[in-house]
Amino acid sequence: MNILIVTQYFWPEEFRINELGVLLAERGHRITVLTGIPNYPGGKLFPGYGLTRKRSEQYNGLKVIRVPLIPRGKGGRLRLILNYISFAFTASILGPMKCHDAYDVIFVYEPSPITVGLPAIVMKMIKSTPIVFWVQDLWPESLSAAGAINSQTVINVVRGLVRFIYSRCDRILVQSRSFIDAIVRLGVDRSKIEYFPNSAEAVFDDAARNAEVAELIGYLNGFKVMFAGNIGASQDFESILGAAESLKEYKNIHWIIIGDGRMFPWVQEQVNKRGLSDTFHLLGRHPLALMPAFFAQANVMLVSLKKKPIFALTIPAKVQSYLACSRPIIAAIDGEGARVVEDAAAGLTCPPEEPGLLAKTVLQASKMPAEDLEEMARRGRYYFEKNFDSTTLVNRLEGWFAEVAGKKK
């Protein structure tokens, strides 16, 4: 099949669509990616890229076409709006000019913003190509939960935009079953919606040791709690810091944070203010290829989100990575994500925004025999293979593509 992927984010930005596109290409499909100039998460254009440079390139057999956008900068509200709108506008105008082929299907990857669907709709109107839309974040719920928008009027306008985009999609895929009811409430026929969870990149199949990583954290003796990913408002670092502060007398418990994001400077300031520098370690952002090596150094992996209805519907993508890498999990989350960890018997859960309970859960894990933690890890890997195996998931995706492409004919 000839497939057009529309995504605001793509390699060298680290998103799961990168590997999924390669897997489809390895199965013989012709893949074109319509995307923006890489600038996530740092907010600046990646080295070597510019508004007029490297607008077309190849990535592991995929043809990548880039359109200019306004970089997200420091992630302030106005800059993010400009970032989102600029990609939607330029991709809608330049996409039809640059993507010349007759495509069998348009596949939209939407981790936010929802506006990524607009250029796909333009392409559909011009080429009569069906759209398969993969929902990673529910809009407008995600906007209000993150505190980005508080105006009910604006929320209603966004809801109308979401309804407009969904109504023009031929199939909608959701990363969590809990998304389904919210999408149906927007007028989407239930028969058009399918459950398509995230898998994890192949790199996570083995939590291998690495000398570079061992040098960074190998000197830390004791129980290592590791968080990997975005450091933003949604990840509830207030509770993580509160738990660490209540346990700071336990010098053997180390909190290791791998990642970057809007809240990084605030977290750094709080670590110093609360006197946590001995046990709370901010290591910044590192390449995806090194993540398994970091995970291998951890006793448990941490996932946390704020207590919001939308987050209870979500399976944080890092859960699949933790499971794939055979690491036990502490999940300070509600709903669907917590259910996965509990069903897998792959770790311990506690309610979000409860620093005291998080501290208690971490202390409990630190006192568990090593063999019990490893048994959790093994159960987690088994659950991943049964429920999130990439081969099985791509088989399903190909089937949905064939269905909508057949309907077109």
Confidence of residue 208 (pLDDT cuts 50, 70, 90): low
- Identify whether the C-beta of residue 281 lies closer than 8 Å to the C-beta of residue 257: yes
> Do 323 and 279 lie in a common domain?
yes
Confidence of residue 41 (pLDDT cuts 50, 70, 90): confident
- Identify whether the C-beta of residue 3 lies closer than 8 Å to the C-beta of residue 107: yes
Examine the pLDDT at 111 and tell me if it is beyond 90: yes
Q: What single DSSP character describes residue 376?
A: H
Q: What does the alpha-carbon distance between residue 315 and residue 317 come to, in Å, rounded to a whole number? A: 6
Q: 352: cis peptide before it, omega within 30°?
A: no
> Do 383 and 393 lie in a common domain?
no
> Do 118 and 146 lie in a common domain?
yes
> Do 254 and 403 lie in a common domain?
no
Helical (H) or strand (E) element with 253: strand 253-258
- Identify whether the C-beta of residue 6 lies closer than 8 Å to the C-beta of residue 120: yes
For 56-67, give one letter per residue: b (16+ CB within 10 A) or e.
Answer: eeebeebbbbbb
> Do 186 and 243 lie in a common domain?
no
CA distances from 255 to 179, 240, 250, 279, 285 (A): 32, 9, 11, 6, 15
CATH code: domain of residue 84: 3.40.50.2000
> Do 109 and 215 lie in a common domain?
no
Q: pTM score, two decimals?
A: 0.88
- Identify whether the C-beta of residue 319 lies closer than 8 Å to the C-beta of residue 336: no
> Do 263 and 377 lie in a common domain?
yes
- Measured in whole angstroms, the distance separating CA 30 from the mean position of its chain's CA atoms is 25
> Do 235 and 359 lie in a common domain?
yes
Q: What single DSSP character describes residue 41?
A: T
Examine the pLDDT at 215 and tell me if it is beyond 80: no
What's residue 349's pLDDT? 98
Confidence of residue 362 (pLDDT cuts 50, 70, 90): very high
What's residue 220's pLDDT? 84
Confidence of residue 323 (pLDDT cuts 50, 70, 90): very high
> Do 232 and 171 lie in a common domain?
no
> Do 222 and 323 lie in a common domain?
yes
> Number of structural domains, the chain?
2
- Identify whether the C-beta of residue 129 lies closer than 8 Å to the C-beta of residue 4: yes
Beta pairing, strands 56-59 & 62-67: antiparallel
**Burial classification of residue 171, based on how many CB atoms lie within 10 Å of its CB (0-12 exposed, 13-18 middle, 19 or more buried):** buried
> Do 308 and 238 lie in a common domain?
yes
Confidence of residue 347 (pLDDT cuts 50, 70, 90): very high
> Do 257 and 342 lie in a common domain?
yes
Give the CA angle between residues 227, 41, 230 to the nearest 5°. 20
Q: What does the alpha-carbon distance between residue 7 and residue 368 come to, in Å, rounded to a whole number? A: 43
- Identify whether the C-beta of residue 123 lies closer than 8 Å to the C-beta of residue 4: yes
Two structure tokens written together for 253: 């418990």
Q: What does the alpha-carbon distance between residue 291 and residue 102 come to, in Å, rounded to a whole number? A: 38
Token match 């996409």: residue?
95
Q: What single DSSP character describes residue 205?
A: G
Residue 141 lies in domain = 2-199+389-408
